[in-house]
Chains A and B, each alone.
Chain A
Amino acid sequence: MSVKDDLYYSEDHEWIREEEEYLLIGITDFAQEELGDIVFVELPEVDEEFDKDDSFGVLESVKAVSDTFIPISGRVIEVNEDLIDNPELINDDPYGDGWLIKVDPADDSELDELLSAEEYAEFIEEE
């Protein structure tokens, strides 16, 4: 189970990658492993705004439903449309093609409250 170095993490098992113009958000390898084969993804509309920790979407495996929680406040600028027909991308490549949304953050300083890769690795060790 992999934890990537250059990302921020939340205790709800989301990762955040800082890009130049936006933040990229997905779920971690640990989370996809726990969920099992994902069969359905529900994502927000572009331009929807969320406060930190709001539920912004739903991931479903055959026998379970999980809400996804946004680790940072902001506005959705793009969603990963490929997931609608190919939800398995999340299982196959959680840190890459399986990303969920791009967000324009309301307050960059919220990033400081997130976990580092090392802290997240410790966190899942305890879970």
Chain B
Amino acid sequence: MEEKLIKDYSSPGRKGYSLPPLEVEESEFNSELSDYLREDVQLPEVSEVDVIRHYTALSEMNYGVDSGIYPLGSCTMKYNPKRNERVARIAALSNLHPYQPEAQLQGSLEILYQLKLDLAEISAMDEITLQPASGAHGEFTSLMIVKKYFEDKEEKRTKVIVPDSAHGTNPASATMAGFEVVEIASNERGMVDLEALAEALDQDTAALMLTNPNTLGIFEEDILKITEMVHEVGALVYYDGANMNAIMGYAKPGLMNFDLMHFNLHKTFSTPHGGGGPGSGPVGVKDFLAPYLPKPVLKKDEKKYYWDQKRPKSIGKVHSFYGNYGIMLRAWAYIKTVGGAGLKKTTENAVLNANYLKSRLKDDFELPYAEDSLHEFVLSGSRQKAEGASTLHIAKRLLDYDQYAPTIYFPLVVKEAMMIEPTETENIETLDHFVETLLTISREIKEDPELVKNAPHSTTVRKLDETEAARNPNLHW
């Protein structure tokens, strides 16, 4: 490897910390407790400078949004504003214990309350919980709400319908909530097939889970018909908010008659992904589902903000405390900075950037669905595969050009899929450069497919043996 492991910096007796002296007299461990003392741990013995050098070296082998374009479809890798970080680091906003008295937290609760109101406004939902810590966590929370709602109505409903283009978290969340998953195929335009939906819907159906625009970036034109069909059998419609960046200020899930939804603050509202998390996945519901929200729910009376713990119909808690508060501060700062009109402009530019890329790439790569798309679109690398290099190879070759790859092999309904979402924060030069690079790679495949097939060539490590990693797992030192 390029940079050795931290343990290999270890030298007996070396220290990277200092603590104040103990000051108080030592207490004996009673005979029972002393049985529970361990001999030692094998943690590294390194200096502070060792730690700094090592993790700085590791960071240099990484790539973030600050490094360049990050066109991962469905991930909304937009710029993460630095001022949000300043807000999140204000001591009086961050150095707070979850069990402090509410009277000491009125500032924070006010911020959370404003965030709730803004999310409700953006989505046309009535009540919001901020507790789920990720998008999938929000999905699970939502499905437990659906489950509890029907239990309360004494209706036994066992099925959840998801389109075949759905994010994998949708069916996985439905299973965790104890539902049976029914997958329905999309039609030739990449949208929900109304006939297939009609066939799947019955009295056992608890919910339909839908992303709109869907993972192909295509808006479900028949959305009102879809929600009506689901409601007709007494089931609920759930909105997966992963693609909110495509519609903010233009359309609202509540107006499409969705009953509940989740948001991804780490996508739409610009909070950093941190190499895979933390995120935040608030859930919004229409009034009739509010009693089932996880407890506690943030409320306000004439005098103060408070956590309403008395929620007899609540599904219970899904998180130790109130969710990923630090992420909520950043999302709040983002919404306040950008403002209502700015959010709409954000959507416009996200959609414009995606359509510009699509327009410039559609002649050289197969476009499996010609339908108009919003903030992201899906190309197929089938043509290139026939010429000798697959989508995976194209993705790896992009890394050689110091650009991150799109989401690949998803959605599953497209062969050799490349799902591209540039976001609004990329400028035209960056988009043009990305196009030129993909066109170059496409040319390289024609001229010298081996060059592309053996990519990446210039990264700190070259193509890694994933088969060996899975067959003989080496998961710790």
**A and B touching (Cβ–Cβ under 8 A):** yes
Find B409's partner among A37, A60, A61, A63 (CB 8 Å cutoff).
A63
Task: List B contacts of A62 (CB < 8 A).
Answer: 466-467, 470
The reply on A88 being an interface residue by CB < 8 A is yes
Residues from chain B with Cβ under 8 Å of A63 in the complex: 409
A39 at the interface (CB under 8 A from B): yes
* A40 is an interface residue with CB less than 8 A from chain B: yes
Q: Is the interface of B mostly helix, strand, loop or mixed?
A: helix
11 contacts between A and B (CB under 8 A): A37-B467, A39-B467, A39-B470, A40-B470, A40-B471, A60-B470, A61-B467, A62-B467, A62-B470, A63-B409, A87-B471
With both chains docked as a complex, state the minimum distance between the C-beta of B183 and any C-beta of chain A, in angstroms.
15
A61: B residues at CB distance < 8 A: 467
Docked Cα-Cα span, A89 to B443, in Å, equals 38
Q: Which residues of A contact B (CB under 8 A)?
A: 37, 39-40, 60-63, 87-88
Cβ of A81 to closest chain B Cβ, rounded Å:
16
CB closest residue in chain A, given B473? A39
Please give, as numbers and ranges, the residues of chain A lying within 8 Å of B409 by CB-CB distance: 63
Q: A1 to B322, alpha carbons, bound, how many Å?
A: 57
Interface residue SS majority, chain A? mixed
Given contacts A37-B467, A40-B471, A62-B466, 11 further A-B contacts (CB under 8 A): A39-B467, A39-B470, A39-B471, A40-B470, A60-B470, A61-B467, A62-B467, A62-B470, A63-B409, A87-B471, A88-B471
CB-CB under 8 A from A40, the residues of chain B are 470-471
| Most chain B CB neighbours (cut-off 10 Å) among A37, A60, A61 | A37
CA A40 – CA B466 in complex, angstroms? Answer: 13
CB distance from B328 to the nearest CB of A (A): 34
Closest A residue to B471 by beta carbon equals: A39
User: Which B residue's beta carbon lies closest to that of A39?
Assistant: B470
* A-B complex: 9 closest residue pairs judged by Cβ atoms: A39-B470, A37-B467, A62-B466, A39-B471, A62-B470, A62-B467, A39-B467, A87-B471, A40-B470
Contacts of A60 in B (CB 8 A): 470
Contacts of A37 in B (CB 8 A): 467
B467 / chain A contacts, CB cutoff of 8 Å: 37, 39, 61-62
In the complex, A121→B466 CA distance in Å?
Answer: 31
Which A residues are CB-close (under 8 A) to B471? 39-40, 87-88
Beta-carbon nearest neighbor of B466 in chain A: A62
Contact code string B403-432 (vs A, CB < 8 Å = 1, else 0): 000000100000000000000000000000
- With A and B bound together, what is the CA distance between A61 and B409 in angstroms? 15
Closest residue of chain A to B467, judged by CB? A37
Cβ-closest chain B residue relative to A62: B466
Bits for B442-477, please: 1 = Cβ < 8 Å to A, else 0: 000000000000000000000000110011000000
Max count, chain B CB within 10 A of own CB: residue among A39, A87, A88: A39
Please give me the residue from chain B that is nearest to A88 by CB atom: B471
User: Smallest CB–CB gap between A38 and chain B, Å?
Assistant: 9
Report the bound CA distance from A60 to B471 in whole Å: 10
A63 to B471, CA, bound (A): 13
Q: Which residues of A contact B470 (CB under 8 A)?
A: 39-40, 60, 62
Cβ distance B385 to chain A, nearest Cβ, rounded Å: 14
The minimal Cβ–Cβ distance linking A59 to chain B, given in whole angstroms, is 12
Q: How far is the CA of A60 from the CA of B469 in the complex (A)?
A: 13
Closest residue to A87 on the B side, CB-wise?
A: B471
